Homo-oligomer: A and B are copies of this chain.
């Protein structure tokens, strides 16, 4: 199964381009002052349905702690997340999404709806949906490989 990695590089290249283009599109639809990084954190918090620490989040996203600190402070400033004491570690805190954060997340997805519809009209979505399991496998593998 371990084959020449070149096709893998090419695939990751495609992924990077797709991510860049779709991210720019999405970000243009977010309210002023918000970035994909903000949405990404909210999305993750909803997905895991938990209140992870900044450290855990930084790891999950593979960004430096200071980057995550800054991103979270922006979200907190807008009331989209709140910080709670971490009962297991006095140095730490837990990040919880607020009701406003949930609404923000829903609104952001709604705002990109028309663009996605336009995109779906241009492609074979059924064909593309077939790629989802493989992409999930790839993500899981990358998750397993990341710095702890």
Residues on A lying within 8 angstroms of B by beta carbon are: 1-3, 5, 7-26, 36, 40, 43, 61-63, 109, 112-113, 115-132, 134-139, 141-146
Give the number of times this chain occurs in the complex, counting copies: 2
User: Bound complex: CA of A50 vs CA of B40, how far in Å?
Assistant: 35
CB nearest neighbor in B for A10: B132
Chain A contact surface mostly: helix
User: Bound complex: CA of A126 vs CA of B137, how far in Å?
Assistant: 12
Knowing A120-B2, A134-B124, A134-B130 are in contact, say whether A115-B145 is a contact too (CB < 8 A).
Answer: yes
A119 touches B141 (CB 8 A): yes
B124 touches A15 (CB 8 A): no
Cβ 8 A contact of A141, one of B62, B122, B142: B122
B131 touches A134 (CB 8 A): yes
A15 touches B19 (CB 8 A): yes
B1 touches A132 (CB 8 A): no
Cβ 8 A contact of A135, one of B2, B15, B119: B15
Cβ 8 A contact of A62, one of B20, B36, B63: B20
Knowing A16-B36, A62-B21 are in contact, say whether A8-B132 is a contact too (CB < 8 A).
Answer: no
User: Bound complex: CA of A96 vs CA of B139, how far in Å?
Assistant: 35
B14 touches A135 (CB 8 A): yes
A135 touches B141 (CB 8 A): no
Cβ 8 A contact of A121, one of B2, B115, B135: B2
CB nearest neighbor in B for A114: B5
